[in-house]
Amino acid sequence: MDKILVHGGRSLEGDVRIGGSKNSALPILAATLLTKEKCVIDRVPDLSDIHYMLTILGRLGAEVERASGVVQIRAEKIITEAPYEIVRKMRASVCVLGPLLGREKSAKVSLPGGCVIGDRPIDLHLKGFEALGAKVTVKGGDIILSADKLTGARINLRGRHGPTVLGTGNVMMAAVLAEGTTVIEGAAEEPEVIDLARDQMGLKLSASQLHAADGRVWLREHRGEFDVVSVIPDRIEAGTFLVAGAIAGKRVTITRTEPRHLEAVLTALRTAGFDLSLTSDSVTISPNGSRRPLHLETLPYPGFPTDMQAQFCAMLATMEGTSVVTETVFPQRFMHVAELKRMGATIDLDDHRATIHGVERLSGAPVMASDLRASAALVLAALPADGVTEINRVYHIDRGYEAIDEKLNGLGAHIERVKA
């Protein structure tokens, strides 16, 4: 199993290019099952989660070709069963349910297992499919969907912890091939959901309402050419590099990004005392010497993203003063706290709230990555730490960050990847 060694104490300076969004690309790739026609998707990041999704699509019968960031998929003939062995590695594999149901009116997909960031139920996805007319059965670990026909409906998808991102996408994908109009109330409005709904798909999304056009497919063959969907920049990768700049940077610029999607993260960084300068597609962060602790609460978009919570905990752990971080989206998502404490952080965890008493310096230690964002937080915490931090189970980080070690080394960090 690969591990990463971070030699702490180097300062970062320079530009780093942000890749396509993982959480946007995954449902867009699943949505190619909606049509028999060829789909071309650009700026697809090279990540293990993307690889799993392409493997699943291949097993469902799609022809998949990939050349650098461009993926071409033709799902002319498909099967509707995805067994445990192919879906178990990634929770986002549930988003093949919507397109299979929409196109074939039938799907049998194994229910993915638990996950360290919380329980992660899919009851809201199933509620949405039922509202469109599907019969839902859970048997032997599989979700079985069937319908004679799907009919547009008014559906409220808001759950106890707010809207559901993949649930909204899943129901949208089934609804595009339903008869009539579907309105999703309490829909997630994350940029990744809007990306999935863009006009190329024959959908129009406004505020928290979705209007699906009858049976229209997207990515049609168009004047002999194919429409190409380009995935939006990854706002969480962007935020992670901004925090790297905040923690260890003299001046770091993230390029090919979409600052509009980063509002809450930029506001938090400004409140913490960092100078930011923006262009239409870049953000530069420079320290100004007067850092302040923060009170943060994760919320659905446009609020502060849960996917940036761990990285901010790492930053606040080394900033003077007491910060309070409250997690409302995945209340148990604090696996990074125990590992940060191994590096000398002082953090009290009380239910879904972390109180962080900043210390001057963390020290390198052997630590364990528990999930994607937690592992990014450990890399960030290690950048200014004394000595060497050894991060184990780095396959978690490769699920969602393209060559994070190489990109940080390009800014001046000293990170080694030790192959098992």
Please tell me whether residue 109 adopts helix, strand or coil conformation: strand
Could you tell me the smallest distance in angstroms from the CB atom of residue 127 to ligand EPU?
A: 8
Alpha carbons 61 and 78: distance in angstroms, whole number: 5
Q: Which is nearer to ligand EPU, 274 or 371 (CB)?
A: 371
Q: In what order do the strands lie in the sheet with 135-139?
A: 81-82, 106-110, 142-146, 135-139
Are 243 and 283 in contact by the 8 Å Cβ rule? The answer is no
Q: Which is nearer to ligand EPU, 33 or 319 (CB)?
A: 33
Distances, alpha carbon 319 to alpha carbons 246, 360, 373, in Å: 10, 7, 20
Helix orientation angle between 22-31 and 48-59, rounded to the nearest 10 degrees: 10
Could you tell me the smallest distance in angstroms from the CB atom of residue 220 to ligand EPU?
A: 26
Question: Would you state the structure tokens that stand for residue 312, as one six-digit string?
Answer: 């901010």
Catalytic residue check, 95 = no
Could you tell me the smallest distance in angstroms from the CB atom of residue 375 to ligand EPU?
A: 10
Nearest to 312 by CA among 342, 288, 336: 336
Q: Which is nearer to ligand EPU, 26 or 394 (CB)?
A: 26
Place of tokens 């209007």: 211
Cis (ω within 30 of 0) for the bond into 302? yes
Length of the chain: 420
For residue 309, how many other CB atoms are within 10 A of its CB?
A: 26
Could you tell me the smallest distance in angstroms from the CB atom of residue 273 to ligand EPU?
A: 27
Residues forming contacts to ligand EPU in the complex (CB under 6 A) are 23, 26, 92, 118-125, 159-162, 164-167, 188, 192, 306-307, 329-330, 372-373, 400
Could you tell me the smallest distance in angstroms from the CB atom of residue 329 to ligand EPU?
A: 5
Place of tokens 């971070």: 6
Could you tell me the smallest distance in angstroms from the CB atom of residue 371 to ligand EPU?
A: 7
Letter string b/e over residues 163-192, b meaning 16 or more CB atoms within 10 A of that residue's CB: bbbbbbbbbbbbbbbbeeebbbebbbbbbb
Are 407 and 243 in contact by the 8 Å Cβ rule? The answer is no
Please tell me whether residue 406 adopts helix, strand or coil conformation: helix
Could you tell me the smallest distance in angstroms from the CB atom of residue 372 to ligand EPU?
A: 4
For residue 99, how many other CB atoms are within 10 A of its CB?
A: 28
Catalytic entry in 39, 95, 115, 313: 115
Q: Which is nearer to ligand EPU, 170 or 318 (CB)?
A: 170
- H helices present in 64-119, as ranges: 84-87, 97-104
Characterise 133 by phi-psi region: left (phi > 0), alpha (psi -120 to 50), beta (else): left
Q: Which is nearer to ligand EPU, 26 or 315 (CB)?
A: 26
Q: Which is nearer to ligand EPU, 78 or 111 (CB)?
A: 111
Q: Which is nearer to ligand EPU, 38 or 393 (CB)?
A: 393
Q: Which is nearer to ligand EPU, 156 or 286 (CB)?
A: 156
Are 69 and 42 in contact by the 8 Å Cβ rule? The answer is yes
Could you tell me the smallest distance in angstroms from the CB atom of residue 45 to ligand EPU?
A: 12
Nearest to 245 by CA among 420, 16, 82: 16
Are 328 and 305 in contact by the 8 Å Cβ rule? The answer is no
Enumerate the active-site residues.
115
